[in-house]
Chain A
Amino acid sequence: MTMRWLHLGALGGVLALASPAVAKPVAPAKVCEVYPDSPLCETSVPACAFCHAGNPPPRNAFGALVEANLLPGAPRPLSDEDFLGALGTALEAVEGEDADGDGVTNLVEIMAGTLPGDGSNYPRELGCDEGGTNPGYDVCNFDPDFVFKKLNLDFCGRSPTWEAMETFRQTADKKAALHAELNRCLDSEFWVGQDGQVWQLAHRKIKPLQAIKAGEDSGPIPLGDYYDDYALFVYSQLDDHDAREVLTADYFITRRRNPTRYEVATAADPIGDQDVDQQYRAGVLTTKWNLVLNVMFTAVPRTAAAQAMRAYLGIDIAKLEGIMPVPNEPQDYDEKGVTAEACAVCHSTLDPVTYPFTRYQGLTGSSGTYDPNRIQRSFPNEGVRIDEMPESGVLLGQPVANLVEWAQVAANSDAFAKATANDYWTLVMGRDVQPEELEEFTALWQAFRGRHNYSVEKMLHQLIETEAYGVP
């Protein structure tokens, strides 16, 4: 069995600081420039806990050590430019030290994906308990009997019966039987139905609110029908559908019951109250629900852009993730004060991400529609330069002319593939990707966007064969 690393989770101690501590939102991305192969950079960028104790700015032991090597003697606080220019050197200067005193050097910890400032979080080599016996499980190898029961619970929502388990135990080709069982479960109501596992995966993306739901099961103030959003999301995840179409679809989905099935809506079977013209549609980004909930009354709907990145790219700007400043931004067209130093570092990324959303009506004008003149029509007094705000923007460093292009760039990004794979990994493992599982996770998301052609179900067939899933 391959050697594995155990990730021990807990917060470490805090060292007193000798100089004013200031958080640098640009730091995580720089860390990943210096250590691109670190597992900490695999699904996003390092969390604040890499250098800070709890919430910034107080630093942990590692952060304090780096700070001491960061342009020593230079007046604080450092400018972002000076900080970024010196951070790489400071990181490299402390690679051989053990800031948190856990017996593992900072560099080894970074490359193992553990926290160099947390003494209780360090890579530990684990062997396999080869010496003993275990009548219940093969704890050193992929255990098909274990997987058979587990996948039934994960994907069918119930354990196999005694009879089914016995039949499987006697099966000659267990691998084929596992995949057949997975296929059966992937059609179950537990997986595809309303409030099923895939549907529930969309809760945090769609953020439903029954009080303002329109259509079936409508609330007292019906503004939009989020069932359309769920239907499109689930459809994109089933069979061999291209999961990217959750963001790029120019169609809507209808849902059939008993059993639940999802189909592309046709002209003869129009769907609900979706009003964005086809050429301006970008999957769930342009549904009436998404626009009502996230654009609402705002000229520059930063919430809509941030939520889209959080939900579908796994990038949470509110947590300083995905900061990629665009030159000459933010422009602050709506005069919200985002050019202030404390705001600009994030808004230089977020505002250009947001511009492509600005032509879609939320709760202004004709709700849930595309209007190229929305700003002039609905926000004439929002700021003296509001008319100059472009529809084009920048996402992940790439210029985009509009939201349709935004969705294409997002859907084709590594971030989308990683986030999708991570959704399902977390769902069936019940925890985040562990350092010792990173190799398999990387192979999974790369295959998802490669040979699986963005088919979630094919990815899941690969997932159940992983050591992370199949070794008890």
Chain B
Amino acid sequence: MFPKRLITVLAAGALLSGCLASENLNPTGTPDSGVSGDGDSGVANGDGGTVENDGGTTGPAFAKSSKAVLRFKRTTRLRNDISQVLGIPEGEICNELGQYSCTDYVHTISLGGVEAYTLGINEPTADTTVTTPIATERVVLSACERRARDDMAAPDGALIFKGLVVTDGKLDVGSAEVAQSIDTLYKRALLRAPSSAEVSHLTQLYRDIEADQQPNPARDWAILTCFSVLTSMESLFY
């Protein structure tokens, strides 16, 4: 499908997400602050506005949290939020062999859940495990594929990628519909509008995908845009 591009996005996602080594992270200040230096620091303010940092060289002093503790959402919250953001019923978010819930059954422990009744795991692990990022990405990717497929199949009734004009599998990435799709995704997932830098990153992502000569760059872009936002630290931690 798009292995090379997926690897690129996974790497980017890993950078955005920080590491999952501990449930409680001590980031530098805000969920997005790890990339603030290169213009990605636009996080929501009280009225939903954003702040730009256009070159990554210098910017206003950034007020950091002295507490700086974030928590991984873990299994149920992760499932619920993906369901809510992407408009997919909770029971249809990533099912192994189409039957076994990735979050509630297959990857429960990896995703920070418990299995008290049969395994005697009465409390979640204090830290995330080595497979937590893999399981998380599997769940998110599965759901993003579903959202992109459904939206592309019915553009006018789409939830996030609405009204995209796709010709021969390609997008007009400068169109208002693309910008609106990104805006919708950010608001649903991160409860804020995207910064112009973030919009720029995602439109550049499309150009990179198209340059790879993949057969359906519009669909791949929708999936990976969804994936990159939903696997960001800002999305996975709170």
Which residues of A are at the interface with B, using a C-beta cutoff of 8 A? 4, 6, 126-137, 139-140, 145, 149-150, 153, 157-162, 165-166, 169, 190, 200, 203-204, 207-211, 213, 430-431, 471-472
Contact = CB atoms under 8 A, between A and B. Distances in A.
Interface of B: 23-24, 29-32, 41-51, 60-67, 69, 71, 73, 76-77, 80-81, 84, 114, 116-118, 120, 122-123, 187-188, 191-192, 238
Given A129-B64, A159-B81, 9 more contacts: A4-B67, A129-B63, A133-B62, A136-B30, A139-B63, A145-B46, A153-B77, A190-B76, A210-B118
Contacts of A139: 29, 63-66
Given A169-B47, A203-B116, A204-B123, A136 B61 contact: no
6 contacts: A135-B44, A137-B65, A169-B47, A169-B48, A200-B114, A203-B122
Contacts of B62: 132-134
Contacts of A130: 63
B238 A153 contact: yes
Contacts of A134: 29-30, 62-65
B80 A157 contact: yes
Contacts of B23: 430
Nearest to B45: A135
B66 A4 contact: yes
B100 to A, nearest CB: 17
Given A135-B50, A157-B76, A430-B24, A471 B188 contact: no
A135 B49 contact: yes
Contacts of A126: 66
Contacts of A165: 191
A209 B120 contact: yes
Contacts of B238: 149-150, 153, 159
B117 A166 contact: no
Dominant SS at the B interface?
A: loop
A139 B67 CA distance: 9
Contacts of A129: 29, 63-66
B128 to A, nearest CB: 12
Contacts of B192: 136
B66 A208 contact: no
A132 B66 contact: no
A239 to B, nearest CB: 23
B191 A149 contact: yes
B84 A161 contact: yes
Contact of B63 (A6, A140, A161, A471): A140
Contacts of A200: 114, 116
A160 B191 contact: yes
Given A135-B44, A162-B188, A431 B24 contact: yes
A408 to B, nearest CB: 27
Contact of A132 (B60, B117, B123): B60
Dominant SS at the A interface?
A: loop
B32 A472 contact: no
A127 B66 CA distance: 7
Contacts of A210: 117-118
Nearest to B188: A162
Nearest to B49: A135
A136 B191 contact: no
B63 A158 contact: no
Contact of A158 (B30, B45, B51, B77): B77
A47 B77 CA distance: 33
A242 B45 CA distance: 41
B77 A157 contact: yes
Contacts of B123: 203-204
A162 B66 contact: no
Given A132-B62, A157-B80, A203-B122, A430 B71 contact: yes
A210 B196 CA distance: 53
B67 A471 contact: yes
Contact of A169 (B29, B46, B71): B46
Nearest to A211: B118
A137 B187 CA distance: 17
Contacts of A153: 73, 77, 238
A430 B25 CA distance: 11
Contact of B69 (A149, A211, A431): A431
A134 B65 CA distance: 9
A258 to B, nearest CB: 16
Contacts of B67: 4, 471-472
Nearest to B66: A126
Contacts of A472: 30, 65, 67
A106 B147 CA distance: 58
Contacts of A166: 48
A208 B120 CA distance: 7
Given A153-B238, A161-B84, A131 B66 contact: no
A127 B50 CA distance: 26
A203 B114 contact: yes
Contacts of B73: 153
B119 to A, nearest CB: 10
A161 to B, nearest CB: 7
Nearest to A134: B63
B231 to A, nearest CB: 15
A139 B70 CA distance: 13
A162 B116 CA distance: 35
A353 to B, nearest CB: 23
Nearest to A159: B81
A425 to B, nearest CB: 13
A136 B32 contact: yes
Nearest to A143: B46
B66 A6 contact: yes
A160 B65 CA distance: 23
9 pairs of A and B residues whose beta carbons are closest in the complex: A136-B43, A132-B61, A132-B63, A203-B122, A158-B80, A134-B63, A135-B45, A210-B117, A203-B116
Q: Max chain A CB contacts within 10 Å: which of B24, B77, B192?
A: B77
A431 B192 CA distance: 28
A305 to B, nearest CB: 19
A126 B192 CA distance: 30
Contact of A430 (B43, B51, B69, B118): B69
Contacts of A149: 191, 238
